[in-house]
Structure 1
Amino acid sequence: MKPAISESLPLLVLDDGRPGHVNQSLAFARLTGREAVRCRVSFRHRAGKALSYLCDRIGLAVSGLIRHDDVAGPFAAVVSAGSDTWYANRLLARRLGCRSVALMLPKGYRLDFDLIIAQQHDHPPVAGNILALPVNLNWSEPAGLVSPEDDRPVVAVVVGGDSRHGKLDPDWLESQLKSVFNVCAGSRFWLTTSRRTGQNVEKMLRRFPFDYALYYSSDPRNPMGDFLQYADRLFVTADSTSMISEAVCWGTAAVDILPVIRTLPTGKTGRMLSGLQKDGYVHLFDGAPGDARRKVDLKSLLAEVRL
């Protein structure tokens, strides 16, 4: 039997080794005011994931399919994101007698988790246990890596890289950045790259006179929280739903999207950007910066969540 709703019990966050997934679960804990206990999980065998879909469909709980750290409750809920965690989520929640929370739409599995927090661009079905958000869950706070040295406005540039949704065209990005430097002349320019930024893109970026630049290839820290605290304008490449989500949830910067090729990406990233642009959260850079400063208030959207 699941415990009564408790405001004090921690969350068990399942860790599949993918930071983008784990960070969403940790953000959920922060946004709901909960402590988080991390637990590594994985399938025992290569065929385990395929078998988990079948077992889940017929309601069969096979603990031998997964391996995980030793854990002991009580917990308010098991929380996880990503297809390598959802079967483990259901098994552990059942064993620990707590609720199950799936982040992102758990395609291929039954949708009867206690709570599913999905993204609108995945077109989740309408159901009482599904909360659809316009962005990925995220949390941001300053890291103390950079701060303004004078009263000039800060223009921050966040560059991703190649993904399964498409490749970043360095020549096209270079032309856009030249426009950014031109139309935002007199500002301080900051830059950060990501783990996906290719060497050819980085080489191009080093030709620009950024006042502050952090290249992930040589310094794998994250100044995004500082950028969001201080920037007046934020330019983000259109390849990462996580970077875009963070940009439209925190700070007061106007957010412009830099397409990685001459058109917006298709698929879920394109659907997400179209929705955010329509609702005034982002502006698609067209040679002139926009003034899209509206922010998604994740805490308010999660205010009704009870665990």
Structure 2
Amino acid sequence: MKSLNVLVVSDGLPGHLNQSRGLAHWLGTRFAVETQELEVRLRMRAMARRILPLVVEVAPAMATLRSFYQLPALAGAAPDVIVSAGGNTSFANVLLARHFCVPNVFIGSRRRLAPGSFAAHLTLEPTGEAGNVVTPVAPSPVSPEAIAQSAAEFRARHGFADGRLWLMACGGTGAGKSYSADDWSTLAHWMNDAAESHGIRWLLSTSRRTGASGEEALAASLKADHLAYAVWWSRNPERILGTLMGAAERLFVTVDSMSMVSECIGAQKPVAVVDVGDGAPEPLLAKALDRYARLGLCRRVSVADSLDAAPETLATADDLREESIDQLLERLRLKPSAARRPRRRNGAGS
């Protein structure tokens, strides 16, 4: 298989970084990928966002990069492609691509940058511009193969070998949604009812946005008998969400986090997106969730209703991403000469 060096430019935000890692994982289905990650910090943000769109294509690449970004020294092999997500990485992405004379991919809104700034621009909705690659599913680094071993070890270590486990992944206020302590208590009571109705126990992972008060409300209302294992992020931020996904039969995730929804879908198990809290998802998130449900990648549920049936899914991310990868490689002018296009899988989760 042909080798490919991928430079992932990160702003340090987990959601953006996971999308970029996910795209590197996609490329890894066609190439022997080596990934290097470079975390950058945009300086003087207000000024930079005004100036950089005007000069990013013409100013000296490395001098401009070092003037406007805080970044470590570049090390390792020269990249074959640059990948990033998140607006604060977009200028660095373009400057690095110019410096190394390689194609680049940006995930998400390109904002004030010209369409030609990126060899490929990955979005969930079509922009109608050259270089745009529309993907029905957001890239995710999670795959069944990647999480299988750690999940098996987790189950054995905690004595869960034969137990039925479901996962609840909690986000928090953001993307149009807000959560009070009462909302988290409502979710916990809903989880109690589901555990009793379906004979399962819960794996639970909160996140930075859940907050300590949200965690306290969950812990106070969720019955101990129904909770097999919990990651309380504000107390002990264990980064084992992928392991928990692998250990669970079915995956539930709050409606506010596109990145966590994408990761759950990437695990290729039945996924339910849970509506709880105040407000409604922002329009772009709402469109994406509606699309995922329409394609059979997830089911929408609400804490206002009892969970009568365990969620099932009708499709997997692998079924839908291959055409997007084909288009992406065409935009990047990359030819995996020794690799074959993976076969589509039939069927869905358990």
Q: Tell me which interval the TM-score lies in, with the shorter structure as reference length.
A: 0.7 to 0.9
Tell which deviates more after alignment, 140-149 or 202-211: 140-149
Please give the per-residue CA displacement for 1:217-247, whole angstroms capped at 9, x wherever unaligned.
1221222222222322222111100001111
The offset of 1:302, in angstroms, is 4.7
* Secondary structure in structure 1 of the residue aligned to 2:88: coil
For the pair 1:221 / 2:221, whether they are aligned, the reply is: no
> TM-score with structure 1 length normalisation?
0.86
> Contact 1:44–1:66 (CA<8 Å) still a contact in 2?
no
For the pair 1:295 / 2:312, whether they are aligned, the reply is: no
Match among 242, 261, 265 for residue 277 of structure 2 = 261
Cα separation, partners in 2 of 1:52 and 1:40, compared to 1, 3 Å:
same
The offset of 1:263, in angstroms, is 5.9
Please give the per-residue CA displacement for 1:102-130, whole angstroms capped at 9, x wherever unaligned.
12231221122111111x2xx33134522
Match among 132, 135, 141 for residue 134 of structure 2 = 132
Please give the per-residue CA displacement for 1:176-219, whole angstroms capped at 9, x wherever unaligned.
43233223322121111111112221011112121211111122
For the pair 1:84 / 2:92, whether they are aligned, the reply is: no
Cα separation, partners in 2 of 1:264 and 1:295, compared to 1, 3 Å:
farther
> Contact 2:165–2:203 (CA<8 Å) still a contact in 1?
yes
> Contact 1:255–1:281 (CA<8 Å) still a contact in 2?
yes
Give the structure 2 partner of residue 27 of structure 1.
Answer: 22
Task: Please give the alpha-carbon distance, in whole angstroms, between the structure 2 residues aligned to 1:225 and 1:214.
Answer: 12
Unmatched 5+ stretches in structure 2: 335-350
Give the structure 2 partner of residue 3 of structure 1.
Answer: none
Tell which deviates more after alignment, 234-243 or 25-34: 25-34
Unmatched 5+ stretches in structure 1: 1-5
> Contact 2:184–2:217 (CA<8 Å) still a contact in 1?
no
Give the structure 1 partner of residue 176 of structure 2.
Answer: 165
**Alignment size in residue pairs:** 296
The offset of 1:299, in angstroms, is 5.5
Match among 271, 275, 287 for residue 291 of structure 2 = 275
Task: Please give the alpha-carbon distance, in whole angstroms, between the structure 1 residues aligned to 2:86 and 2:325.
Answer: 23
Give the structure 2 partner of residue 146 of structure 1.
Answer: 154
Task: Please give the alpha-carbon distance, in whole angstroms, between the structure 2 residues aligned to 1:134 and 1:91.
Answer: 29
Cα separation, partners in 2 of 1:262 and 1:82, compared to 1, 3 Å:
closer
Give the structure 1 partner of residue 110 of structure 2.
Answer: 106
* Secondary structure in structure 2 of the residue aligned to 1:268: helix
> Contact 1:283–1:290 (CA<8 Å) still a contact in 2?
no
Tell which deviates more after alignment, 208-217 or 136-145: 136-145
Give the structure 2 partner of residue 250 of structure 1.
Answer: 267
CA-based RMSD of the aligned residues comes to: 2.5
Give the structure 2 partner of residue 206 of structure 1.
Answer: 219
> Contact 1:9–1:74 (CA<8 Å) still a contact in 2?
no
Cα separation, partners in 2 of 1:301 and 1:194, compared to 1, 3 Å:
farther
Percent sequence identity over matched residues?
27
The offset of 1:51, in angstroms, is 0.7
Which protein is richer in helix relative to its size? 2
Give the structure 2 partner of residue 156 of structure 1.
Answer: 167
* Letter of the 1:172 counterpart: D
Please give the per-residue CA displacement for 1:55-82, whole angstroms capped at 9, x wherever unaligned.
35xx433544432444375321111111
> TM-score with structure 2 length normalisation?
0.76
> Contact 2:254–2:275 (CA<8 Å) still a contact in 1?
yes
Tell which deviates more after alignment, 109-118 or 274-283: 274-283
> Contact 1:158–1:237 (CA<8 Å) still a contact in 2?
yes
Cα separation, partners in 2 of 1:290 and 1:281, compared to 1, 3 Å:
farther
